[in-house]
Structure formats: structure tokens, C-alpha cells
Copies of this chain bind each other. A is one copy, B any other.
Amino acid sequence: MSDLSDLLEETCRPQGSAVKGEELRKLFGQLQFGWTMPNDHHLEKEYRFKDFREALGFVNRLGEVAERENHHPDIFLAWGRVKVTLWTHSAGGLTRNDFILAAKADQLG
């Protein structure tokens, strides 16, 4: 059975297809606290930091992972906080790649 450690060990694959229904619920259930999944369409989480520089540091670490995986979240940076939004434009929704990146983002926080 797939769990969080599997997501962390996986790398994003090109051309993933959208995940639906029960499979989507199971994947979402594997993520750590703080993620939401509005309309089952995208993943969203806000991380808090003690100042702007710490938040920017997280953006850079996340950017490195995104480049390595060739899968890029939308990132909103404000003083002391970063909001990460993940979905796969080409699939019109959530793919396994989004959950892989979400799990890896939590390792950087």
C-alpha cells in the first residue's frame, strides 16, 4: 500500500494523468497537516516563518525541488509566509506529481 514515505521516494513523471475519487482521497490522506484540496482541484498550504528572509529561503529550497522534479507550484511570498498551490495544468487537475511535490515541500518547511 502506498504511503507518505513512498511519495517522498518517488520522482515526478512526465505526463501524469489526473487522479480521481477514492485514489485522490487516499493520496490526500497521506499528506501532513495543513494541506487543503479545494474542489478536489488543487492542493494548497500556507507555511509561516519568523520573517521575510526565512520565507524567501523556503521559496528557494522549494524552487530547487521544483526544478529537479520539473514540476512547478505557484508560490505566493509575503512577509513571514509562503502559500504553495499545486495542480497539473496539462491534466486539468491533480496528478500524483502534485502529491509528490507536496510531500517534499513539507520536508523543507
Q: Which of B52, B67, B72 contacts A78 (CB 8 A)?
A: B72
Q: Complex formed: what's the CA distance from A56 to B63 in Å?
A: 7
Q: Are A76 and B74 in contact (CB under 8 A)?
A: yes
A66 at the interface (CB under 8 A from B): yes
Cβ distance A31 to chain B, nearest Cβ, rounded Å? 21
Interface size class of A (residues with CB under 8 A): 10 to 19
* A72 smallest CB distance to B (angstroms): 5
Shortest CB-to-CB span from A52 to chain B, Å, is 5
How far does the alpha carbon of A59 sit from the alpha carbon of B53 in the complex, in Å? Answer: 12
Partner of A76, one of B56, B60, B76: B76
Question: Please, could you name 11 A-B residue pairs with CB atoms under 8 Å apart, sorted by A?
Answer: A52-B66, A52-B72, A53-B63, A56-B60, A59-B59, A59-B77, A60-B60, A72-B79, A74-B77, A75-B78, A76-B76
